[in-house]
């Protein structure tokens, strides 16, 4: 069985180096000193590429109705502060809701993952054809989103979901969390590069 060695700092500052036999890169951890000072810091350097460094989740049950041809905010949002500028952020959005068209129409809807004010990923459905005449309506479920982003920052970064429709006639609407008290979620995972 392999072992991990822990070596103290001769200066007595409470800094220890944890050396793994499976890696040439050591990890540094600041522990309480002899005065009883609590844990002050830890670094995540040295983790292999693909390691999950932190996970943040945001949930919402706020209803949002989008009937605009311009990208519009939903209430699905969360913020993360990457520990390294080289890290990637995996964004997973699980969206509760539907797309609604009143009477006959041929429409599209679009959803986007937005970092700050920048669309980093967008997805559209195919042509939605109600085909129900003048008195009917049609409903489609909303798809989920996922994207691996490279924000190149160590500042707090906000991700959110936006939506838009191709045409505003026939009451074409994206309805987020609007049916059955649904809840939507966004998960942000920092991945070591």
Residue range 101-142, pLDDT digits in tens: 887 777 889 999 999 999 999 998 766 666 655 666 778 888
Using an 8 Å Cβ cutoff, are 90 and 148 in contact? yes
Domain boundaries, the chain: 5-42, 52-191
Outline where 131-179 has alpha helix (H): none
pLDDT digit string (tens) for 18-67? 444 555 444 444 444 544 444 434 455 578 999 999 999 999 999 999 99
pLDDT tens for residues 136-181? 677 888 889 999 999 999 999 999 999 999 988 888 899 999 876 7
pLDDT at 22: 52
Q: Which fold has domain 52-191?
A: Jelly Rolls (2.60.120)
Residue 15 pLDDT: 47
**Tokens 């292999």 identify what position?**
48
Residues 193 and 190: their CA atoms lie apart, in Å, by: 9
Please state, in angstroms and rounded to a whole number, the distance separating the CA atoms of residues 62 and 95.
12
Between CA 151 and CA 149 the distance in angstroms is 6
3-class SS of residue 61: coil
- Tell me the pTM: 0.74
């Amino acid at each position: 069985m392999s072992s991990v060695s822990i070596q103290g700092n001769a200066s007595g500052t409470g800094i220890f180096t944890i050396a793994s036999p499976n890696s040439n890169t050591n990890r540094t951890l600041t522990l309480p000193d002899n005065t009883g000072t609590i844990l002050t810091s830890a670094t995540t350097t040295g983790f292999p590429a693909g390691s999950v460094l932190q996970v943040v989740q945001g949930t919402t049950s706020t209803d949002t109705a989008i009937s605009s041809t311009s990208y519009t905010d939903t209430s699905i949002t969360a913020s993360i502060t990457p520990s390294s500028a080289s890290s990637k952020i995996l964004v997973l959005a699980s969206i509760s809701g539907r797309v609604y068209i009143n009477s006959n129409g041929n429409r599209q809807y679009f959803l986007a993952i937005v970092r700050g004010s920048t669309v980093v990923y967008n997805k559209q459905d195919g042509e939605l054809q109600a085909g129900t005449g003048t008195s009917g309506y049609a409903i489609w479920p909303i798809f989920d989103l996922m994207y691996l982003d490279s924000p190149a920052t160590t500042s707090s970064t906000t991700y959110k979901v936006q939506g838009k429709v191709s045409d505003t006639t026939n009451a074409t609407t994206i309805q987020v969390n609007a049916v059955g008290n649904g809840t939507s979620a966004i998960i942000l995972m920092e991945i070591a590069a």
